[in-house]
A and B are shown apart, each in its own frame.
Chain A
Amino acid sequence: MEIITNAMRQLAREGLENGLDIIIGWKDGRFEWQSKPAFITEINDIESLNFNNYSLKNLSGYLLKKELKDKKIGIFLKGCDYKAYKQLVNYNQVDPENIQIWGIACPGLKERDFHGNTSNAERCQRCQEPVPEELETIIGKKEVAIQNSPEDKYQDVKKLESLATDERFDYWKDQISDCIRCYACRNTCPLCECTTCMIAGGDSNSDDWIDSAKEFSQDFFFHSIRAFHQAGRCVDCGECEEVCPVDIPISKINNKIRHDIENLYEMPEVADDDSVMGPLLDFREDDPEPGSKGGKENA
Chain B
Amino acid sequence: MSKIGVFICWCGSNISETVDIEKTKAALEGLPALDYIEDYQYLCSEIGQKKIADAIKNKNLSGVVVASCSPRMHEDTFRNAAEDAGLNPYLLEIANIREHCSWVHSNKEKATEKAVALIRAAINKVKHNQPLTPGSIPVNKRALVIGGGIAGIQSAIDIAEAGYQVDIVERTPSIGGKMAQIDKTFPTLDCSACILTPKMVEASRHENIQLHTYSEVARVDGYVGNFDVEIKKKPRSIDEDKCTGCGICLEKCPGKAPSEFEEGLNERNAIYTPFPQAVPNIPTIDRDNCIKFEKDKCGLCARVCPTDAINFNQEENIIEEKYGIIITATGYQLTDPDQFGEYHYNHPDVITGMEFERIINAAGPTEGKLQRPSNSEKPERVVFVQCVGSRDKARGHSHCSKICCMYTAKQAMLIREKYPETEVYVFYIDIRTAGKGFEEFQRRAQEDYGVNYVKGMVGKVFPGKDKLRVEAIDAMTGEFLELNSDLVILSPAAIPDQKAGDVSRQLGISQGASGFFTEAHPKLKPVETQTAGIFLAGACQGPKDIPETVAQASGAAAKAIGILSKDSLVNNPCVAEVNQAECSSCFSCKEVCPYSAIEKDEAEKHGMVARVNEALCQGCGACTVTCRSSTINLKGFSNKEILSEVDAICL
**Interface on A for B, CB 8 Å cutoff?**
69, 91-93, 193-198, 206-209, 229, 277, 281-282, 285
Asked whether A207 lies within 8 Å of B628 as measured between CB atoms, the reply is: no
Q: Using Cβ atoms and an 8 Å threshold, which residues of chain A touch B631?
A: 194, 196, 206
Asked whether A285 lies within 8 Å of B505 as measured between CB atoms, the reply is: yes
Q: Select from chain A the residue with minimum beta-carbon distance to B592.
A: A281
Q: Select from chain A the residue with minimum beta-carbon distance to B643.
A: A207
- A198-B630, A206-B631, A277-B588 known; 18 new pairs, CB 8 Å cut-off, are A69-B606, A92-B585, A92-B587, A92-B607, A92-B608, A194-B584, A194-B628, A195-B583, A195-B584, A195-B629, A198-B629, A206-B630, A207-B630, A207-B639, A209-B630, A209-B643, A281-B591, A281-B626
Q: Select from chain B the residue with minimum beta-carbon distance to A196.
A: B582
The 5 closest A-B pairs by CB, nearest first: A194-B629, A198-B630, A91-B586, A207-B639, A277-B591
Q: Using Cβ atoms and an 8 Å threshold, which residues of chain B touch A206?
A: 582, 629-631, 639
- The answer for the CA separation of A209 and B642 in the assembled complex, in Å, is 11
Interface: B566 (CB within 8 A): no
Q: Using Cβ atoms and an 8 Å threshold, which residues of chain B touch A277?
A: 588, 591
- The interface centre, meaning the residue of B583, B606, B630 with most chain A CB atoms within 10 A of its CB, is B630
Interface: B640 (CB within 8 A): yes
Q: Select from chain B the residue with minimum beta-carbon distance to A200.
A: B629
Q: Select from chain A the residue with minimum beta-carbon distance to B630.
A: A198
Q: Using Cβ atoms and an 8 Å threshold, which residues of chain A touch B588?
A: 91, 277, 281
A to B CB contacts below 8 Å, 24 in the list = A69-B606, A91-B586, A91-B588, A92-B585, A92-B586, A92-B607, A194-B582, A194-B628, A194-B629, A195-B606, A196-B582, A196-B629, A196-B631, A197-B629, A198-B628, A198-B629, A206-B630, A206-B631, A207-B640, A209-B630, A209-B639, A229-B628, A281-B591, A282-B591
B558 to chain A, nearest CB (A): 34
B607 to chain A, nearest CB (A): 8
Known: A206-B639, A209-B643. A91 touches B629 (CB 8 A): no
- The answer for the CA separation of A69 and B585 in the assembled complex, in Å, is 15
How many chain B residues sit at the interface, stated as a range, is 20 to 34
A150 to chain B, nearest CB (A): 27
Interface of A is mostly: loop
Q: Select from chain B the residue with minimum beta-carbon distance to A285.
A: B505
Asked whether B591 lies within 8 Å of A208 as measured between CB atoms, the reply is: no
550-605 of chain B: CB within 8 A of chain A: 582-588, 591-592
Q: Using Cβ atoms and an 8 Å threshold, which residues of chain B touch A208?
A: 643
A81 to chain B, nearest CB (A): 19
B189 to chain A, nearest CB (A): 45
- The answer for the CA separation of A91 and B589 in the assembled complex, in Å, is 11
B632 to chain A, nearest CB (A): 11
- The answer for the CA separation of A284 and B628 in the assembled complex, in Å, is 22
- The answer for the CA separation of A182 and B582 in the assembled complex, in Å, is 22
Q: Using Cβ atoms and an 8 Å threshold, which residues of chain B touch A195?
A: 582-584, 606, 629
Q: Using Cβ atoms and an 8 Å threshold, which residues of chain B touch A229?
A: 628
Q: Select from chain B the residue with minimum beta-carbon distance to A66.
A: B606
Q: Using Cβ atoms and an 8 Å threshold, which residues of chain A touch B638?
A: 207
Q: Using Cβ atoms and an 8 Å threshold, which residues of chain B touch A282?
A: 591
B583 to chain A, nearest CB (A): 7
- The answer for the CA separation of A198 and B626 in the assembled complex, in Å, is 12
Q: Using Cβ atoms and an 8 Å threshold, which residues of chain B touch A69?
A: 606
- The answer for the CA separation of A208 and B505 in the assembled complex, in Å, is 36
